[in-house]
Amino acid sequence: MITVFWTCLLLYSNTLSYSHDSTNKGNVKNCKYLEETHLETLFKAIDYRKDVFVERLAHAVAIPSVSSQSEHQEDLVNMLKWTGDILNNLGFFWQIKSPTLSNKSNSSTSLKYPFLLGHLAKAQNINKQVLNKSKTLLIYAHVDVVAAKQSEGWEQSDPFVMERKNGFLKGRGTTDDKGPVVAWLNALSVLKEELGNDCFPPLNIKIFLETGEEIGSPGLREILSNEATFFNDIDYLVVTDNYCLTNYKPCLTYGLRGMVYFSLEINGPFKQDLHSGVHGGPIDEPLRESVYLLASMVDKDGKILIPEIYDDVLPLEEPENASYSSIQFNDETPGAYFVASKNEVLAKKWRWPSLSVHGIEGSISQKGDVKSVIPHRILSKFSIRLVPDQDPERVKELVRSYLEELHADWTLGKENANTMTLKSLHEGVLAWYNPNPQNNPVFIAAEKAVKRVYGLEPDYTREGGTIPAVVYLSQAIPSPTNVILLPIGTTDDGAHSQNEKLSEQHFMNGTKLMLAYIYELSLTQY
């Protein structure tokens, strides 16, 4: 298939052995198309800049853009401005938009989780008739990170000072999600520098970055509504915020689980902690009821016991189940799974809802602490990962009804009993999946790009996690099925954990993959 755009490299690439001279770039007025062999020239240009690209990621990691801590609000803005400075050099027009949010615990303190919206000017000298037909690619990512302290078990003294060691780039955000963001910037930089202004870009490109993804994307839907014109011409959406299942096999992701998140508070009929020897026995203990309620929602095999919760779950049909057998999958947490079958592991990760208890506040929390008290208040948090076609609002009601029934039974006949408060901590996110990825242009282009970079057929995978932006962005763009998750890291990178890392090889190959993806996607538009 022929595309306009790429001949400028064709005309001078024979003089590149590899040379970094770009004095003649931008003078070619007749951009046509790039032959396969000239992608290798661009890949060599990426390798040539390796140290520069690694240093760029180190600068990104050094900005502690922790969205869960209010003291880092300024760092969130600084992270976007740092990215914007690079986009300036690439010819992007960009602006920062903030939703109207406030800190509920202190109404006088305004919390902002800003977004960056940018678009790249079209190449100057491509035929205008062709320009009018150009498709638009939206790149989505996030630049906020979860909190990290050396005292939590990091090997390096400061998680925000990236270490380059034994082929890995170590630091908070290297794989989630600053590494992928910088890889996109690197790929665009090579295209810009090697092709010149007259031939860059090959298709219209927009970029959308957020600073609150790690805390549930506050304000995202407001921005999508307020800035609807920015999204109404998007043809393709690519997201790089997930992981491959192995260190050696790339994958393309076509599904995510959704999520609902709850807090469960049990208060005793007494106002302070009590001595268990003095009062234990006739007291309705909040921690005991909390444990009972949490344990009553799921059985020993992980099956959720809440009535009707599986009624809307789509069945796992045999063709999909059979496809799991060929997927390359390494157990990145040896000994963690209680099922032995790979198919069952993947199905439990991707295709069935799961309930997880995340923590309990109000009980013993200090290491080595021994207290024989009865806590007067217990706050626990749990979530349910949703799958197609579960509705978050219906699941919330099922959870509430079930727990209220259990609580009523627990307190029945007690003169002074505990009280229960159940809260949903966000509105809930639908599961997302592409029903026919192999015949979708964003996946077809990605598969070709993977073959060019890795020489392998990619696995088609789902993901057990939740990315609200994928759901809401797919609803905001004209072609909701033209959405793909294109990962470069792997599941053992330690995202959200201690010693987060990204291998240099995956960082560089990921940059090549993104460049090749832009090229392949440009071929679909004419």
Q: Which residues are catalytic?
A: 144, 213
Nearest to 432 by CA among 394, 473, 393, 395: 473
Nearest to 285 by CA among 257, 266, 265, 263: 266
Q: 232 in helix, strand or coil? A: coil
What distance, in Å, lies between the first and last C-alpha atoms of the chain? 8
Cross-strand pairs, 142: 210
* CA distance readout (Å), 404 to 99, 376, 412: 35, 20, 12
CB atoms within 10 A of CB 185: 24
CB atoms within 10 A of CB 461: 25
Q: Are 354 and 391 in contact (CB under 8 A)?
A: no
* CA distance readout (Å), 352 to 39, 257, 311, 465, 502: 41, 9, 12, 12, 29
Nearest to 473 by CA among 221, 242, 229: 221
* Residue 319 CB-density burial (10 A; 0-12 exposed, 13-18 middle, 19+ buried): exposed
Q: Are 239 and 469 in contact (CB under 8 A)?
A: yes
- CA 434 to CA 442: how far, in whole Å? 11
